[in-house]
Amino acid sequence: DADVTQTPRNRITKTGKRIMLECSQTKGHDRMYWYRQDPGLGLRLIYYSFDVKDINKGEISDGYSVSRQAQAKFSLSLESAIPNQTALYFCATSASGDIQYFGAGTRLSVL
């Protein structure tokens, strides 16, 4: 079983819809991250959390929100999806903020 699991793996939604991407991990790490990957732009940090009561904005948090329901779970929500949020989304975990362990990704299309 994967150490970092993302669901769903693929999602197609319409503009204006609210959607949630989920991430769970079995590595026991305190730190969790959400990134989006766009061609030519690499990975950009959306939100990160260092423990259940700690949530921080990344470089591109507008239009997104997160919830850290437990040490092992970190969800990303798009409150009202728009087409330029079409991207590949990755969740990652780390123990110390150094080496990061990534999930398989969620490919999101907003029509």
Give the integer Cα–Cα distance in Å for 22 and 10.
Answer: 12
**Least Å from the CB of residue 104 to other proteins:** 5
CA 100 to the chain's CA centroid: 13
Binding region for other proteins (CB under 8 A): 35, 40-45, 48, 50, 58, 90, 92, 97-100, 102-105
Q: What is the largest CA-CA distance in the chain?
A: 38
**Given the complex with other proteins, which of 14 and 57 has the nearer CB atom?**
57
Please state the closest distance from residue 18 (CB atom) to other proteins, in A: 26
Decide whether 4 or 110 has the Cβ nearer to other proteins. Answer: 4
State the nearest-atom distance from the C-beta of 61 to other proteins, in Å. 13
State the virtual CA torsion across 24, 36, 104, 11 in degrees, nearest 10.
90
12 vs 16 by CB, closer to other proteins: 12
Cα torsion 78, 84, 90, 95: sign: negative
